[in-house]
Structure 1
Amino acid sequence: MTPELKNKIIAVCDQKIAQKGDNVGLSFYAFFANKNDNPVLLMEAATWWIATHQFDHFEKAAKIKALVQTE
């Protein structure tokens, strides 16, 4: 995982947890704007989320953050 994606995931998880609490779920789309402005990073996130970890569409932000911090 690139440092850019890792930092983005952690920041978004922190933001979502602060807004909605520890039990908030998110999908990998939460890391991107509604438009596809960085297709390479989007594909990296999708590959990590779907192919590498086989996560469901929504996962707990705290779980994702903890996993990313250990990689």
Structure 2
Amino acid sequence: MRDALRKKVIAVCDEKIAKKGPGVGLSFYAFFANKNDNPELLMEAAEWWIREHELDHFEKATKIKEMVQQADRNRAAADH
């Protein structure tokens, strides 16, 4: 997942959690406007969500945020 998408996922998860609490669910569509202005990025998010992780349509924002942050930590550890 490219850096811009990771940052967007974390920001959206933080926003949803702040507004609706830690039990809030979302789909990968939550990271995009209703108008599909970046189909490549949308497909990257869908690939990560559906094929790579086999997630349900709706997942808890806290789970998604943790998955992205854990991937960042794993990547950083592998670089050292």
Whether these two folds match at TM > 0.5 is yes
> CA–CA distance in 2 between the matches of 1:8 and 1:70?
15
2:77 counterpart residue number: none
Percent of aligned pairs with the same residue? Answer: 70
> CA–CA distance in 2 between the matches of 1:56 and 1:16?
18
1:11 counterpart residue number: 11
Paired amino acid for 2:48: W
Paired amino acid for 1:52: E
Gaps of 5+ in 1: none
Gaps of 5+ in 2: 72-80
Runs of 4+ off more than 3 Å: none
> CA–CA distance in 1 between the matches of 2:10 and 2:16?
10
Matches for 1:46-65 after TM superposition, within 5 Å? 46-65=46-65
Report the Cα offset of residue 70 of structure 1.
Answer: 1.1
1:39 counterpart residue number: 39
1:18-63 CA-partner distances (Å, limit 9, x unpaired): 0000000000000000010011110000000000000000000000
SS at match of 1:55: coil
SS at match of 2:66: helix
> CA–CA distance in 2 between the matches of 1:55 and 1:66?
14
Instruction: Report the count of equivalent residues.
Output: 71
